A = this chain, B = another copy of it.
Amino acid sequence: MALIDIAELARRSGVPASTLRFYEEKGLIESLGRRGLRRTFDADAVERLSLIALGRSAGFSLDEIADMLGDGGAPDIDRAILLTKAEEIDRTIHRLGALRDGLRHAAACPAPSHAQCPTFRRLMTIAAERTRKAKGKG
B99 contacts A96, C-beta separation under 8 Å: no
Q: In the complex, what residue of chain B is closest to A106 when comparing beta carbons?
A: B75
Closest to A87 in B: B100
Residue of B nearest to A85 (CB): B103
The answer, yes or no, to whether A24 is at the interface (CB within 8 Å) is no
Q: How far is the CA of A114 from the CA of B79 in the complex (A)?
A: 13
Number of copies of chain A assembled together: 2
Q: Find A128's partner among B53, B74, B85, B128 (CB 8 Å cutoff).
A: B53
Complex interface: stretch among A3-11, A29-37, A43-51: A43-51
Q: Are B96 and A127 in contact (CB under 8 A)?
A: no
SS class, residues of chain A in contact with chain B: helix
Q: Which of B50, B58, B72, B112 contacts A96 (CB 8 A)?
A: B58
Contact with B along A49-91 (1 / 0, CB 8 A): 0110111011100000000100011110101101101100110
Expressed in whole angstroms, the Cα–Cα distance for A75 and B117 within the complex equals 12
Give the most central of A57, A86, A96, A124: most B CB within 10 Å. A57
Residues of A at the B interface (CB closer than 8 Å) are 14, 44, 47-48, 50-51, 53-55, 57-59, 68, 72-75, 77, 79-80, 82-83, 85-86, 89-90, 92-93, 95-97, 99-104, 106-108, 111-115, 121, 124-125, 127-131, 133
